[in-house]
Structure 1
């Protein structure tokens, strides 16, 4: 893939501490499942995407908020250590966000997210320059997302997760939406969006422009699925960077699928990743993001 270097990327989003229980199977409602193994990692869709983009080779600035607690200090340091500029991560008077996650032997998961400091991100303090592309998610208050979208002069990508009703001005302004098939079905307003990448798990991924499919790539088998929690975030970061670098839709999807497939083989939502161009070499990608 012959592409130009991507622009600087600003990731505006959530920062959490992930408490993950690895279990043989997920519990049913009201059921207790024993024998779990506990992991404690830095997560949040915003932090996951910022770290993934940095490890893929981009220059990344993270905008978000953590609490004035030990978890906040730890999270910021972990994000910094991944090469991300953390100068715009605020410390606020609220606990750092926390995600409670259960993951079974097949890599399927259940999540409960406690927003904490993420609910206090101040839209007024977010600066986006003319040379910045922006990647966001919906784990922050919608008014913060709308404010950033309104003032961002360049390319804007929005991983519209978790699903919620989107106002018309947001749909009209965003250059690229990234969702899974469940989220796409829950947000019919996205049929009018200029470009939407939809992931279908084992069935691959597609690009849809103003309601019409323009590209589709198949999934490839993944040898070992350990954890699907961060796969969608790795996919979102990779797809955004591939498009910014000038890749056509089909190649961008294949590249992002290859990155998502690499992510599911690791237990953490912030897996180690190679430079983006190495994933672009393959003719087919494994698409596992949810």
Structure 2
């Protein structure tokens, strides 16, 4: 599929998505290089930007044209209104978000001159996304066709939400991040699709990463079989700047290599979330998994050309305009 065909799919996104999880205020500073242990480096001005893996994923999906319902918790601080306001600006419905006493979730992010970053996460109100809360939102949650989950919320809540939505016929996509090597069996049983990066995949399967990061020479068919043994029939493995691989036991071609989209990266913060948000939106719009990953390559590449997470995300029109003019 060429660029024009992929971008044409991007313009057709119109599905309904639910996202349950984290919203964070990202305290971000840029430096010439990332500090080593015990080292102090001088950075640029401190920026406060909207983030949180789940909030980012919701914003990315909504900006592309999906109808997105966000579920989670914010605190009683000024960051709460800031986060909800930014999600609303992106087109996300935040009516189901809970407010709790105390601080909202935060992250401290350092970004170097090449766009690489380090991130420290403080859960704050995200720790209050309880099982009772998601059960109380059952009707709206299960009205969507696809559910997005990551692991910045309590694991018992993520698992209960997956079960509730899976039982209602909602397709469940789980991003194993922050990475947990031993996912609960109940979560696996109720997840339709797994999203991990290449390093997480190796840890999950207990295999060595290829020498010199040669993932093209990796035995992806064996990885598919191993994932099936764990309980996952479908997965997307992201490879950073090298694209992604779709593993789909239901497809005629079980292993599909998705080529990268090359851009001059300014900041890679939130690019993985832009990728997942796009996959959610595409799946909700009835597209197959490999096409969803192809579209996500363009959207996440676009995000790498701007600073911050949600602040760097584009609409379908903006993404199409950038890549249509370069091909």
Q: Residue 182 in 1 paired to residue 223 in 2?
A: no
1:171 to 185, 188, 192: 188
Aligned to 2:151: 138
Aligned to 2:210: none
**CA–CA separation in structure 2 for the residues paired with 1:208 and 1:280:** 30
2:305 to 265, 269, 277: 265
Structure 1 residues 256, 5: closer, same or farther in 2, change over 3 A? Answer: closer
2:177 to 142, 147, 161: 161
Aligned to 1:288: none
Q: Residue 122 in 1 paired to residue 127 in 2?
A: no
2:242 to 192, 203, 208: 203
Quote the RMSD (CA, aligned, Å).
2.5
Whether the 8 Å contact between 1:45 and 1:233 is mirrored in structure 2 is yes
Report the 3-state secondary structure (helix = DSSP H, G, I; strand = E; otherwise coil) of the residue aligned with 2:291: helix
**CA–CA separation in structure 2 for the residues paired with 1:33 and 1:277:** 35
Give matches, 1:24-39, under 5 Å.
Answer: 24-39=32-47
**CA–CA separation in structure 2 for the residues paired with 1:277 and 1:151:** 36
Q: Residue 215 in 1 paired to residue 242 in 2?
A: no
Once the two structures are TM-superposed, the CA of residue 5 in structure 1 deviates from its matched residue by: 5.6
**CA–CA separation in structure 2 for the residues paired with 1:101 and 1:242:** 29
Whether the 8 Å contact between 1:94 and 1:116 is mirrored in structure 2 is yes
Aligned to 2:295: 255
Structure 1 residues 53, 5: closer, same or farther in 2, change over 3 A? Answer: closer
**CA–CA separation in structure 2 for the residues paired with 1:277 and 1:141:** 35
Aligned to 1:68: 76
Structure 1 residues 131, 27: closer, same or farther in 2, change over 3 A? Answer: closer
Once the two structures are TM-superposed, the CA of residue 261 in structure 1 deviates from its matched residue by: 0.3
**CA–CA separation in structure 2 for the residues paired with 1:132 and 1:28:** 45
**CA–CA separation in structure 1 for the residues paired with 2:94 and 2:235:** 29
Please give the TM-score of this superposition, normalised by the length of structure 2.
0.80
More helix by share: 2
Whether the 8 Å contact between 2:31 and 2:110 is mirrored in structure 1 is yes
Structure 1: any 5+ residue segments left out of the alignment? 286-290
Residues 52-89 of structure 1, C-alpha deviations (whole Å, 9 max, x = no match): 11101011111011111111121111111221111111
Whether the 8 Å contact between 1:15 and 1:45 is mirrored in structure 2 is yes
Which of these two proteins has the greater Rg computed from alpha carbons?
Answer: 2
1:12 to 15, 20, 41: 20
Report the 3-state secondary structure (helix = DSSP H, G, I; strand = E; otherwise coil) of the residue aligned with 1:86: coil
Q: Which moved more, 1:119-128 or 1:141-150?
A: 119-128
Please give the TM-score of this superposition, normalised by the length of structure 1.
0.90
Once the two structures are TM-superposed, the CA of residue 281 in structure 1 deviates from its matched residue by: 11
Once the two structures are TM-superposed, the CA of residue 279 in structure 1 deviates from its matched residue by: 4.8
